Amino acid sequence: MGSTGGGTRSAPDAAERVARRQGTGRRAGPADPYAQEAAAVRTGLVREIVAGGGLTDPAWRAAFEEVPRHLFVPYYFETEEAGEAGETGGAGEASAADEAGSDGRAVGDGRADEPGGASATGEGGGARGTVGCTRLWRDDPHPLRRARWLAGAYADVPLATRVRDGELITSSSQPSLMARMLQALRVRDGDRVLEIGAGTGYNAALLAHRLGEAHVTTLDLDPEITEAARNHLAAAGFRPAVVTGDGARGCPLHAPYDRIIATCAVASVPPAWLGQCRPDALILTPLATGLITLRVADARHAEGRFLATPAYFVPLRGSGPPPERVPTCGLPSRPLLDDSFRFLLNLAAGHLEPVEALALWEHEGRPGRERYGVTVRGERQWAWLDEPEGAYGWPLGPPDRLQSFV
């Protein structure tokens, strides 16, 4: 594999960026009756993300300003009560067949496919919990409900895209979390990126806007999800590679990659991902209830630290039996209210007893996510606190199937 060389690349000016996108074959999608109104509310969303400290990179800000999110969520569910939510994975977004009936109306029954198979599906952290919900739809005959749909498409919240029997299965990513993840990916012009989990296609569109569609591949196991993502991308004028395949195996067809971003949680880093990266590539993936960034040395070695950002994602499908909740019996209630302690419980699940985790957490000054990291050395993978060879480390993987969040 060739090296990226490790040098910096100068950022193109606006004219160069437009020319690059045009050169990769971006084409106008079909006429969008909501284009003008959507542009106004999209500006408000971007301002909100910027006010919260996000989108400090002008290139990513331009992507969020210009990519129409509403084209990727033609319908979604307004929920009365939701469980923990982040970016989507697991069952995935609604199928193309659900999105339109013979008369063009959304007619799906709101049920998600069963989450079998080995794949990532979705744009990021999942959501779970029993909910009461109302479906909002772009072609609703009632103008007030259409207005609610468009406003919700640009709210800084995850959008429930699939519900089964009153239970929220998947959601489209919270835009501010997507912005943090994309910026943490630290892409450079010319980078090739693999996204594990196609979701609605919105995240792939943002990547294609930034890098050019020829440099972006998005992957999912479920052909209905990839079909829907491909249709949404085309409607927005983007045609990156949308591949149906096993997320844990990556996509060797378009390798090597400079960046891999996953939008589903893993219990350990799939070896295939490292093998499809160039040296000095970066992998960003959810693990436990955090986001780990790994710098790849070669096909068998990588290391990095967690971001400070909390993130709750559904698991990479097919990576094992459904996880069980981490036991918390015998623990006082106060530490369980602290996000940093719950993170440690998940990271060391199955390798550290809850009471031991509590003692460690208190002794080490209640460490936040950014003090933890992950190392991959050949067949070994482990998480650690402060230093890879320090006093505290835990093998990665789901022994006894304990890898769920609490």
Active-site residue, 172 included: no
Which amino acid type is present at position 206? L
**List 119, 171, 172, 173, catalytic entry:** 173
- Give the full edge-to-edge strand order of the sheet including 216-220: 241-244, 216-220, 193-196, 257-262, 277-287, 290-298, 301-305, 372-377, 380-385, 393-395
CA distance 297 to 281: 8
Contact 185, 214 (CB under 8 A): no
Concatenated DSSP letters of 55-66: --SHHHHHHHHH
CA distance 349 to 152: 36
Contact 268, 203 (CB under 8 A): no
**How many other C-beta atoms are found inside a 10 Å radius of the C-beta of residue 283?**
26
Helix (H) or strand (E) holding 175: helix 175-184
Concatenated DSSP letters of 304-365: EEB-S----BPBPBTSSSPPBPPP-TT--HHHHT-HHHHHHHHHTTTTS-HHHHHHHHHHTT
User: SS3 for 68?
Assistant: coil
User: SS3 for 100?
Assistant: coil
List CB contacts of 406: < 8 A, sequence separation 6 or more.
325, 326, 328, 336, 342, 345, 346
| Catalytic center residues | 173
